[in-house]
């Protein structure tokens, strides 16, 4: 099993309220040359958590940090004008808290990060350090 030291949170950079699925992300990632979806988990607008790439496999979600991380993506992250915005629904917020708690139990040495810490992006469009203190 891989040694996981980071949990990295992303957004799909889609407008608020737009339904987007694991299959949609998989298709986009394959078009970019990935062999499958790069995230390990995706949280839909309704708060349901869907598996992406198996945890045992290295992700393709954060260049330079994939080997030792788990990638989580929530659907949304942009307002209707495609500007970065925290568009998480209450159910998505709850699901993210629960998923991160579960992963922290599984990987007790892992720290939680926003994608913006490793790339010049607003992703995931909220302050991860404030919501998930280290």
Q: How far is CA 118 from the centre of its chain?
A: 13
**Residue among 28, 50, 91, 121 flagged as catalytic:** 121
Return the half-sphere exposure (C-beta side, CA atoms, 13 A cut-off) of residue 56: 1
Burial 4-13 (b: 16+ CB within 10 A, else e): bebbbbbbbb
Annotated catalytic residue 115: yes
Strands 6-11 and 111-114: parallel
Q: Is 29 a catalytic residue?
A: no
Other beta carbons within 10 angstroms of residue 49's beta carbon come to 16
From 11, 73, 78, 123, the catalytic residue: 123
Our answer to whether residue 10 is catalytic in this structure is: yes
Is 123 a known active-site residue? yes
Q: Which of 10, 40, 61, 113 is catalytic?
A: 10
Choosing from 41, 73, 115, 116, the catalytic residue is: 115
| Catalytic-residue membership of 39 | yes
Which of 11, 29, 39, 61 is catalytic? The answer is: 39
N- to C-terminal Cα separation, the chain: 24
Catalytic (active-site) positions: 10, 39, 115, 121, 123
């Amino acid at each position: 099993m891989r040694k996981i030291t980071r949990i990295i949170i992303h957004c799909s950079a889609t407008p608020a309220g737009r339904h987007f699925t694991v299959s949609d992300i998989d298709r986009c990632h394959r078009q970019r040359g990935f062999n499958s979806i790069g995230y390990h988990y995706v949280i839909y607008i309704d708060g349901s958590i869907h598996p992406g790439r198996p945890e045992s496999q290295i992700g393709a979600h954060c260049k330079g940090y994939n080997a030792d991380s788990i990638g989580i993506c929530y659907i949304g992250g942009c307002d209707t004008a495609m500007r970065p915005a925290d568009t998480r629904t209450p159910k998505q917020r709850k699901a993210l808290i629960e998923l991160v708690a579960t992963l922290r139990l599984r990987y007790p040495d892992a720290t939680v990060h926003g994608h913006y810490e490793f790339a010049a992006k607003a992703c995931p469009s909220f302050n991860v350090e404030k919501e998930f203190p280290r």
